[in-house]
Amino acid sequence: MLTYILRRLLYSIPVLIAASFLIFMAVSAMGDPLAELELNPLASEETIANVREKKHLDDPLVVQYGYWVKDAVTNGFGTPLLTEEPIWNDLKRVIPHTLALVLAAELIALLVGVSIGIYSAIRQYSLFDYSATTLSFLGFAMPVFWLALMLQIAFTNLFLAWNVRIFYTSGLSSVDPGTGIHWLLDRAQHLAIPVMVLAVLQIAIYSRYMRASLLEVVNSDYVRTARAKGLHENKVTMRHAVRNALIPVVTLSALSFGALIGGAVITETIFQLDGMGNYFIQNLFNQDVYPIMAWLMITATMIILFNLVADILYGVLDPRVRYD
Amino acid sequence: MTDHSLESDRTLASQGALGPAALDDRSLAYESGLEVETRSQWTYARRRFMRHRLAVGSLIVLILVLGAGLGASWVAPYPYDGIDLENSGVGPTFDNWHLFGTDLLGRDYFSRVLYGIQTSVQVAFIVALLAVVIGTAVGAVAGYYSAWVDNGLMRFTDLMLTLPGLAVLLTAAAFLGHGSPYRVAIILGFLLWTTLARIVRGQFLSLREKDYIDAARAAGAGDLRIMFRHMLPNCLGPIIVFATLTIGLAILLEASLSFLGFGIQPPTPALGLLIAQGQDVSTDMWWLVLCPGLTIVLIVLCINFVGDGLRDALDPTQRIRA
């Protein structure tokens, strides 16, 4: 097991290098770093020359890639186009916010989605099953940003019309959030709607997946054996069937991390949360390629890491999987 | 594999389902020299699809909505940019047929949504077409030759999976999109083909080993003829299902891009853009967000149901929805 993890970690290194090369080449091919500056009447010739010098833009692309990697490793991904603050300082601030958001959404989605899936599978073709199916189809067809906006409108109007403040509809915290438990409560009130928005699609996915997976397991021999030896039906499902049916869902939840980060881009923009997604969109508007490349690199690293976690979890949960 | 299910359908029909009476009828028909209707694969697929009531209903709704969108210049009660300051900010009402209300400038949102459907659906169709052509070509070559092309494709798709799709799409659109619907469509098409390439590759890998391919080769058929004449028709089911679901996905993605400001730019009406334009005043005029959004949900929902029906009809072995 340990050797397997080590080998997978080693294997991640060439993948990371390939990903960084792909990111750098693709972004460089698409966006000229100076395009925005050259259009700006306020930017002098001197500024442009300075940036050209700082980012080694006169060198061939492969050499630029070398400088970029060196900056990324030694200097916190280098600096943005115009300011001298290392990009990592911004990333360091926003990453925890996004991780909190994504992890909360993921946990809630797993809890709710798996429960719905189990109940749907046990009571197949019941009213509950049909409603859950319909709702999950609605979830698949709903644009994330639209759901976010509708909830924002609803809760804003709730506050404006009746002065009821259940959840805040923008920002990470109030002007004066307090300390300790008050701070935590304030943060929860701010994050509740974004977490809900992010969780909806995941709930739809997990419940469908769990239902299908459990229905597949329920017909297997060992479940029949468990029934035959007289176990109570609840015990058969919860102890024998659900445990095995959970395996693909748990793996899927680790793999869906990338999709969640993508969803967080939209959600954070709408609710003006100071997270990774918001940072990404701002820099896209500024057409500054350096923070974008750093952002893509960080997310790629996280996704590779979570894929590794998925593989390891799969082995831990399912002893039939052999590592050789 | 479609053949297998057809076999089972046929045996089912001749044995249990129709009963002995039906069998007698059939043998009677043979004896008295009556023509027995021959049914192709597609006849069976169509029958299976028609039995799927939800899918058929969705298809009808879809045709109505898309028809209204494509014929917007005849159907819409107002032009999409017609300003009417006397009727600004009207909620959804039957007066003057402002079914979806009007915005601050008094532009009728029902008309704007119809024109928006036109743009969004055109974009989605181009995306699906592009993704199908590229995905089929790459998947076929990778599955048929199964050498470095195959290896390269698999490594490339693995690598693409390490990046968040939406962020890659946003980056491409921000630098290359320039607000033109066609550019947005091309970018989306070039990013969405990898799933289909994997599906077609898998099919080709198993089809390649079939006896009838050996027979075709022995008869002197070239690689291209074998690939497109003998193997591709057997993959049409999954390809059609993919194309349908991709249209829905493309509508959602294009709406998200346009909403964030990296997709289609005004004055071209597109569904995501309409929501973005309504966002600023959405606290008062909620209908500007609600109505275009519900339209997206309705269209994508219908497309997904139709896709599911098609999957059951054309590709019966693939039941689990990912």
Mean pLDDT is highest, among B204-213, B241-250, B274-283, for B241-250
Residues 6 or more apart in contact with residue A274 via CB below 8 angstroms: A93, A94, A97, A172
In this structure, are residues B77 and B110 in contact, taking their beta carbons and an 8 Å threshold?
yes
Q: What average pLDDT is seen over chain A?
A: 84
Alpha-carbon distance B278 to nearest alpha carbon in chain A (angstroms): 10
Cis check: omega of the bond before A194, within 30 degrees of 0: no
Overall domain count for chain B: 2
pLDDT tens figures, B286-318: 888 888 899 999 999 999 999 888 888 886 555
pLDDT category at B24 given cuts 50, 70, 90 is low
Q: Note whether A258 contacts B275, CB cutoff 8 Å.
A: no
> Which among A145, A150, A284 is the nearest to B171, CB-wise?
A284
Structure tokens at A246: 């959970």
pLDDT(A115) > 90: yes
Interatomic CA distance for residues A260 and B166, integer angstroms: 10
Interatomic CA distance for residues A243 and A239, integer angstroms: 6
Number of CB pairs < 8 Å for A and B? 131
Chain B residues with CB under 8 Å of A303 CB are: 161-164
Chain B residues with CB under 8 Å of A296 CB are: 163, 167-168, 171
Mean pLDDT is highest, among A47-61, B94-108, B190-204, for B190-204
Residue A301 CB-density burial (10 A; 0-12 exposed, 13-18 middle, 19+ buried): middle
Interatomic CA distance for residues B101 and A5, integer angstroms: 59
Query: Is the CB of A63 inside 8 Å of chain B's CB atoms?
Result: no
Region A287-311: mean pLDDT is: 85
pLDDT category at B152 given cuts 50, 70, 90 is confident
Candidate from A63-67, A155-159, B97-101 with smallest mean pLDDT: B97-101
B69 and B199 assigned to the same domain: yes
In this structure, the number of other CB atoms found within 10 A of the CB of residue A118 comes to 21
- pLDDT value for B322: 35
Domain that residue B81 falls in: 43-321
Q: Note whether A153 contacts B159, CB cutoff 8 Å.
A: no
pLDDT(B38) > 90: no
Region B92-109: mean pLDDT is: 76
- pLDDT value for B296: 93
Which residue of chain B is at minimal alpha-carbon distance from A216? B320
pLDDT(B319) > 50: no
pLDDT(A78) > 80: no
Q: What is the pTM of this model?
A: 0.84
- pLDDT value for A211: 92
B33 and B47 assigned to the same domain: no
B13 and B100 assigned to the same domain: no
Query: Is the CB of A4 inside 8 Å of chain B's CB atoms?
Result: no
User: How many angstroms from the chain centroid is the CA of residue A100?
Assistant: 10
Which chain A residues in 26-45 lie under 8 Å from chain B, judged by CB atoms? 27, 30-31
pLDDT tens figures, A181-226: 888 888 888 888 999 999 998 999 999 999 989 988 888 888 889 8
Q: Note whether A138 contacts B301, CB cutoff 8 Å.
A: yes
Mean pLDDT is highest, among A72-81, A196-205, A261-270, for A196-205
B100 and B10 assigned to the same domain: no
> Which among A144, A266, A287 is the nearest to B174, CB-wise?
A287
Region A122-131: mean pLDDT is: 89
Alpha-carbon distance B225 to nearest alpha carbon in chain A (angstroms): 35
In this structure, are residues B191 and B172 in contact, taking their beta carbons and an 8 Å threshold?
yes
Interatomic CA distance for residues A33 and A290, integer angstroms: 8
B16 and B162 assigned to the same domain: no
- pLDDT value for B36: 65
Interatomic CA distance for residues A243 and A118, integer angstroms: 11
B131 and B8 assigned to the same domain: no
- pLDDT value for B29: 63
CA distance to A78, A244, A262, per residue, from A218 (Å): 54, 10, 34
Give me the CATH number covering residue B278. Answer: 1.10.3720.10
* Side-chain half-sphere CA neighbours of A322 within 13 A: 1
Chain A residues with CB under 8 Å of B321 CB are: 208, 212
Specify the higher pLDDT residue, B101 or A205.
A205
pLDDT(A145) > 60: yes
Q: Note whether B259 contacts A292, CB cutoff 8 Å.
A: no
**What is the number of residues in chain A?**
324
Alpha-carbon distance A224 to nearest alpha carbon in chain B (angstroms): 23
pLDDT tens figures, B128-148: 999 999 999 888 888 888 677
pLDDT(A304) > 90: no
Q: Note whether A141 contacts B172, CB cutoff 8 Å.
A: no
Region A129-149: mean pLDDT is: 90
B243 and B109 assigned to the same domain: yes
3-state secondary structure chain B: CHHHHHHHHHHHHHHHHCHHHHHHHHHHHHHCCCCCCCCCHHHHHHHHHHHCHHHHHHHHHHHHHHHHHHCHHHHCCCCCCCCCHHHCCCCCCCHHHCCCCECCCCCEHHHHHHHHHHHHHHHHHHHHHHHHHHHHHHHHHHHHHCCHHHHHHHHHHHHHCCCCHHHHHHHHHHHHCCCCHHHHHHHHHHHCCHHHHHHHHHHHHHHCCCHHHHHHHHCCCCHHHHHHHHHHHHHHHHHHHHHHHHHHHHHHHHHHHHHHCCCCCCCCCCHHHHHHHHHCCCCCCCHHHHHHHHHHHHHHHHHHHHHHHHHHHHCCCCCCCC
B32 and B113 assigned to the same domain: no
B77 and B26 assigned to the same domain: no
Query: Is the CB of A309 inside 8 Å of chain B's CB atoms?
Result: no
pLDDT category at B284 given cuts 50, 70, 90 is confident
pLDDT(B20) > 60: no
B15 and B153 assigned to the same domain: no
B31 and B70 assigned to the same domain: no
Structure tokens at A53: 């010098």
> Which among A19, A27, A142 is the nearest to B162, CB-wise?
A19
ipTM of the complex in this document: 0.85
CA distance to A284, B4, B113, B116, B252, per residue, from B122 (Å): 26, 37, 14, 10, 13
Give chain B's end-to-end CA distance (angstroms, integer).
Answer: 20
Alpha-carbon distance B167 to nearest alpha carbon in chain A (angstroms): 6
Interatomic CA distance for residues B260 and B273, integer angstroms: 8
Region A79-96: mean pLDDT is: 80
B92 and B20 assigned to the same domain: no
Q: Note whether A30 contacts B176, CB cutoff 8 Å.
A: yes
Interatomic CA distance for residues B257 and B119, integer angstroms: 14
pLDDT(A3) > 60: yes
Residue B102 has phi, psi (to 5 degrees) of -130, 160
Interatomic CA distance for residues A109 and B225, integer angstroms: 49
Neighbouring-strand partners of residue B108 = B102
pLDDT(B125) > 90: yes
Specify the higher pLDDT residue, A261 or B249.
B249
Chain B residues with CB under 8 Å of A298 CB are: none
Alpha-carbon distance A200 to nearest alpha carbon in chain B (angstroms): 14
> Which among A141, A143, A157 is the nearest to B283, CB-wise?
A157
pLDDT(B31) > 70: no
* 3-state secondary structure at position A12: helix
Chain B residues with CB under 8 Å of A138 CB are: 297, 301
Mean pLDDT is highest, among A120-124, A306-310, B31-35, for A120-124
pLDDT category at A117 given cuts 50, 70, 90 is very high
- pLDDT value for B299: 93
